[in-house]
Amino acid sequence: MKLVPSERFAERDERGIALLTVLMVMLIMTVLGIAAMTMTGLDNRVAGFQRTTEAAADAAESCVSTSVKIIQQTIEDGAVPTTVVSATGPVPTVAETAANPSLTMEIMGQSNNHTDTISGTGAAGPDYMQTINGYSVLGDIDRLYIQAKAGSGMQFAAGYEGVGTGSAAAGSEVVYRVDCRAMLGATGTESRIVAVYACTVNGESCQRKI
């Protein structure tokens, strides 16, 4: 059977439309595939950044909790425990044996609001130094002031609070500031936590205020 010219043109048109349709479908699928890969990559980067940030915060929080324990032990013993003092920390040797005032003197109240910082060097440098999960962690411990506890005998009308609440009966608390920073040089990730604790004068307990 012989096709007339009009039928040949119709067959060619149908083949052309089919090819164009296939090409359009392939183009759409390619675009969708690239978009899906881009979104997956972005999600992975965001998740990785979040994990890194959380790890930095955990390292800084670990510095805070360890610093509070050092404060309590120092108050109880009258000096920073020698077991935590070394060239690699957690209390750098220079902060305790070469600094004036030493960390012991700071904690025990012989130098309130000392000017040492986590970014300083030598005797004016950090009181805490550790490497935690790859993060370089630095911390500073400062004794701020001593104050009467709520309801103590040093406060107005404290007679209503009963016996054993005055300053002579541990009715005072010492306020400390702990400043910790965790850094990961490879990524530039950093987390910094500044916390304020009120500790009993005998070091029995420390409560976080901020």
Nearest to 141, CA basis, from 189, 178, 195? 178
Tokens of 65: 């909790």
CA atoms within 13 A on the CB side of 114: 30
Tokens of 50: 């979040």
pTM: 0.70
Task: Report the SS3 class of residue 15.
Answer: helix
pLDDT tens, residue by residue, 116-153: 889 888 778 899 999 998 999 999 999 999 998 876 55
* pLDDT above 50 for 169: no
pLDDT tens, residue by residue, 52-86: 789 999 999 999 999 999 999 999 999 999 999 99
Mean pLDDT of the chain: 82
Q: Domain-by-domain residue ranges, the chain? A: 56-208
Residue 118 CA to residue 106 CA, distance in Å, equals 15
